[in-house]
Structure 1
């Protein structure tokens, strides 16, 4: 998976010159610039993204995504950070990453200076949905790439999603329960024929839904809750009696959600 990393202007800023002026630099300075570029590449440019904001990452082969590093990530180079994988809803599909910022984790992560997670928020192509097998494989590949390249606490990886992303959360959790320390599906459900492995019972799950949801009826979540309860799983269910389809805003704005997530790791 190759990222489109643009270095034009990076060296210029390091040398405090305008990019256009670079054409006038003498040959020996050009050698210095080349070495700086090589140095940046060898150190891993992915670790030098801005903190505290969702930046757009476009890739040649795979899913484009928003990427968030918590404040103080660079300062604490030896620390491993919890990670949240966020799956958006049907309306945010396409090729415009600005859409992914409308709801959920990308929106809430920039409202505070203390959001303590690495956040990965991919965008589903317009001709797919998250439960597609191809999307499931792309999500796993993306997650594994981030784990390999960043200071991720592998025992504290969480997944959440809303609406179509809620369905995607159930699907990916069923596909790879070993990856996640906890899961939060919101106003979603299980696709027909979803195979629920027995090992999913070891993953804490907190389900949310609106009682007046006409887009995805609450029964979709409740069927999944019952299925997990039947295998002795660790699951809790919050129904907002007066909420319509948007049961995600109050959920993601609730600090208790993040405290609950951080209370779970694969170690405990």
Structure 2
């Protein structure tokens, strides 16, 4: 009996010691776990060759952490995409592939020693729809629009700091985002005879000289009433990039937007007229009048597809107003262009861009015969860059066999935005933007 009592006493003592030790460990663990305030995230959107893509999320960790304390495996990033215009709002969901991660400041600049934020860079590509910030409603409105992207960032690995361990973060509170280049544009609208056009515009840094104006007319998918879409649905925002601006020593950029299509004519779609033409020229002239430092001898106009159609109408009807034009995959049928039209525009510098694989606007029905007629009429500064096909020129996107990724043949505007249109003129190799910047009515 006594031996049994001693045995139970030892067991009780041992249990007490174990429990005490466990509590000690738990207290120590709790002491080393850093409590953080509710976390949030912001997004970074960049305009790629195929459109707008969310390339990064910037996560507020709540506490400063060492610069090397996060890796691409620290967090899992899940996104759910939806489009408010659709009957079924849901588009898709899934995990984004994190390709790089680093500690940073609030603006996403990599930290020198410590930072309170983690930047998670994610894989993007022309076929990776999870990264898209825009949805094309091909079956409904026929327009692009910003879609809603709900992110949930879940911590997978502990973050060690001198103050303790950060663990178990689940971040799903969105605190806004930035859209690179797009946010450098302002937006506005103007009404003429009951027709309202919206527009996005970029203003260069003020200097003592005059600045040229680049006018870009959007394609069919960018109509509507949100003027950020014409510069984001494809890469027109790039006209505000440092590279392209450098050719002009700073240029204004005006991107008007029609509520429907530039090709909406008075008797039918693409009939050689546009019910928006009078409003558009009024908008352009008012914009020039309101920005006194625009060089009126250096106003350039271009556009793609539906916007290329409108470009052709504008230079046809106002050939003395523009210093040069760069219609891209233009959609004005050659049969709608008269010999008198050809005579009126043959002295205007024009650089056409198109692709042989364009089955939306076949080159042999549109640009090729028009270009040939201009040359036969004696045009001296009219050019045609007719690409075999439209392929990635960045080197970032390839097929499995290493061949550059091929885009739809209608997308020849990609070459324009990236200034990949090059030709030898008068013995000198020049790019489209270099040629454009050199055009003036004074010439």
Name the TM-score class by shorter chain. Answer: 0.7 to 0.9
- 1:206 and 2:351 are equivalent in the alignment: yes
Q: Which has the higher helix share?
A: 1
1:59 aligned to 2:59?
no
Q: Over residues 166-195 of structure 1, what are the superposed CA-to-partner deviations in whole Å (9 max), with x where a residue is unaligned?
A: 111111110100011111000014245334
Distance 1:223 1:81 in 2: 34
Q: Which has the larger radius of gyration?
A: 2
Q: How many residues were matched structurally?
A: 214
Relative to 1, partners in 2 of residues 1:260 and 1:105: Cα closer, same or farther, differing over 3 Å? Answer: farther
Give distance in 2, aligned partners of 1:124 and 1:215. 21
Instruction: Go from structure 1 to structure 2 and tell me whether the alpha carbon gap of 1:105 and 1:227 turns closer, same or farther (over 3 Å shift).
Output: farther
Between the aligned partners of 1:86 and 1:253, the Cα distance in structure 2 is 14
- In the alignment, does 2:412 pair up with 1:247? yes
1:100-139 pair list within 5 angstroms: 100-102=230-232, 106-112=236-242, 115=245, 116-126=250-260, 129=263, 132-139=273-280
**Residue 238 (1) aligns with residue 385 (2):** yes
Confirm whether residue 90 of structure 1 aligns to residue 220 of structure 2.
yes
* Helix, strand or coil at the partner of 1:155: strand
In 2, are the aligned partners of 1:159 and 1:180 still within 8 Å (CA)? yes
SS in 2 for 1:65: strand
SS in 1 for 2:276: helix
> Matches of 1:264 and 1:103 in 2, distance apart?
28
2:439 aligned residue (257, 264, 267): 264
Q: 1:124 to 1:155 in 2, by over 3 A?
A: same
**CA distance change for structure 1 residues 215 and 198 in 2, over 3 Å: closer, same or farther?**
same
Q: Which 5+ residue runs of structure 2 have no aligned equivalent?
A: 1-182, 265-271, 391-408, 421-430
Question: Out of 268, 277, 289, which is 1:148 matched to?
Answer: 289
Q: CA deviation at 1:129?
A: 2.5
Deviations 1:105-163 (A, max 9, x none): 74203432772211110001226527644311111101110111111111111000001
User: Quick one: structure 1 residues 137 and 60, their matched pair in 2 at CA, closer, same or farther if it must change by over 3 Å?
Assistant: closer
Provide the TM-score with structure 2 as the length reference. 0.45
Structure 1 residue 159 and structure 2 residue 317: aligned?
Answer: no
SS at match of 1:134: coil
CA deviation profile, 1:193-227 (whole Å, cap 9, x unmatched):
33415231111110010111111111211121012
Separation in 2, partners of 1:58, 1:162: 21
SS at match of 1:212: coil
**Farther off after superposition, 165-174 or 56-65:** 56-65
CA RMSD after TM alignment: 2.2
| Uncovered stretches (5+) of structure 1, i.e. residues with no partner | 1-51
Structure with greater proportional strand content = 2
CA contact (8 A) 2:262 2:310 kept: no
Match of 2:15 in 1: none
Q: How does 1:210-221 map to 2 (within 5 A)?
A: 210-219=355-364, 220-221=366-367
